[in-house]
């Protein structure tokens, strides 16, 4: 008796999958950010680190990782690169030498200020296809999904 062919996998329309669309939007977001901020040489994660540290000087690495939803091992490499560029500094906390406090350098503050207009243009470009009244609703829905699913992330965010 001849072997039966394996069952055929039913077709799935990728464009109907939220995960597929979120991945595509992430690709677009990164590309747009890099286009608009090219002169700074910053990646979106590096920008998030600098902005978060600017918002909360003295933040420690563990809290920074939680604030931007980045795993601590990957964040260590990002911090190494930013420190090597002279954009931030890490200092041992007085109360616990194992804790590393973060602060922007003058060069880091200046680069962050130069990156801001491009970052804002990138955000605007991503939302441009939506009618103005729908942009706030889209952001509200996006935040709802992130908040509700945050614990599923390999690096849950808190910010």
Across 103-111, average pLDDT: 98
Residue 103 pairs in a beta bridge with: 89
Please name the residues in contact with 63: beta carbons below 8 A apart, sequence gap of 6 or more: 56
C-alpha torsion 113→60→66→53, nearest 10:
-10
Distance of alpha carbon 139 from alpha carbon 128, whole angstroms? 13
Distance of alpha carbon 22 from alpha carbon 103, whole angstroms? 33
**Residue 97 DSSP SS3:** coil
pLDDT at 4: 84
pLDDT at 159: 54
pLDDT tens-digit profile of 136-145?
999 999 999 9
Q: Quick one: pLDDT band at residue 98, thresholds 50, 70, 90?
A: confident
pLDDT at position 121 over 90: yes
pLDDT at 129: 97
Of the two residues 96 and 79, the one the predictor is more confident about is 79
Length of the chain: 159
pLDDT tens-digit profile of 31-88?
999 999 999 999 999 999 999 999 998 899 989 999 999 998 899 999 999 999 999 9
pLDDT at 123: 97
pLDDT at 93: 74
Structural domains present in the chain: 39-115 (1.10.10.10)
For the chain, the first-to-last Cα distance in angstroms comes to 62
């Amino acid at each position: 008796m001849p072997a039966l062919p394996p069952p055929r996998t039913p077709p799935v329309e990728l464009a109907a999958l939220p995960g597929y669309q979120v991945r595509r939007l992430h690709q677009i977001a990164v590309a747009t950010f890099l286009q608009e901020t090219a002169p700074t040489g910053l990646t979106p994660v590096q920008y998030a680190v600098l902005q978060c540290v600017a918002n909360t000087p003295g933040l420690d690495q563990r809290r920074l990782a939680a604030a931007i939803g980045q795993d601590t091992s990957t964040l260590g490499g990002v911090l190494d690169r930013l420190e090597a560029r002279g954009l931030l500094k890490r200092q041992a906390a007085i109360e616990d030498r194992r804790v590393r406090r973060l602060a922007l350098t003058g060069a880091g503050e200046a680069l962050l200020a130069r990156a801001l207009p491009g970052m804002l243009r990138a955000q605007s470009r991503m939302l441009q296809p939506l009618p103005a009244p729908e942009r706030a609703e889209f952001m509200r829905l996006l935040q709802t999904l992130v908040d509700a699913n945050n614990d599923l992330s390999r690096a849950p965010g808190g910010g």
